[in-house]
Every structure is written in structure tokens, then in C-alpha cells.
């Protein structure tokens, strides 16, 4: 992982149960691709407050947890 610096983009995610597996994978890929990004997962009980907190400092991304995508992709439309 690259050394943290003032220009690094912080990418975060919100999850009920954040894990190190996704964090390590994302940070590995950012490094392999030469991107000046770092990923950090967080859990939150106050979702509206967490979203406001994400927007305030200008974080790069807050993707949906993978388990939510899997669940929605199997539902009928």
C-alpha cells in the first residue's frame, strides 16, 4: 500500500459488519493499478448522519456492500 499523503483519495464503505477481506482486496487493487486511493470500511447505526458525514469532507465513494448487491440481483422484477 502506498504511503498516505495529502493527495490520497479516501474511499469508504458503510456496512453492518465491515471486514478486512474487502478492505485488503480493494487496497491491493488500488496499489496494483497505481491509484492514489485508500479504502476504509465503517459501520453505522445512524444512517442519515453517516451519509451526511460522508458528504461533508468529500470522500470519493461509498459503495453498497457486496451482500446487498447479491441479494438484489436474485430478486424478481
The pLDDT of residue 23 is above 80: yes
Q: How confident is the model at residue 28 (pLDDT cuts 50, 70, 90)?
A: very high
Q: How confident is the model at residue 1 (pLDDT cuts 50, 70, 90)?
A: low
Higher pLDDT, 3 or 27: 27
- Indicate the domain borders of the chain: 9-72
Q: pLDDT tens digits for 40-72?
A: 888 888 888 888 887 787 766 655 544 444 444
Q: What does CATH list as the number for 9-72?
A: 3.40.50.10860
Q: How confident is the model at residue 53, as a pLDDT?
A: 83
Three-state SS across the chain?
CCCCCCCCEEEEEECCCCCHHHHHHHHHHHHHCCCCEEEEEECCCCHHHHHHHHHCCCCCECCCCHHHHHHHHCCCC
For the chain, give the mean pLDDT: 75
Amino acid at each position: 500500500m502506498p504511503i498516505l499523503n495529502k493527495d490520497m483519495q479516501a474511499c469508504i464503505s458503510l456496512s453492518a459488519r465491515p471486514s478486512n477481506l474487502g478492505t485488503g482486496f480493494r487496497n491491493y487493487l488500488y496499489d496494483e493499478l497505481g491509484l492514489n486511493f485508500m479504502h476504509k470500511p465503517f459501520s453505522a447505526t445512524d444512517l442519515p448522519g453517516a451519509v451526511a458525514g460522508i458528504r461533508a469532507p468529500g470522500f470519493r465513494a461509498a459503495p453498497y456492500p457486496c451482500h446487498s448487491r447479491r441479494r438484489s440481483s436474485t430478486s424478481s422484477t
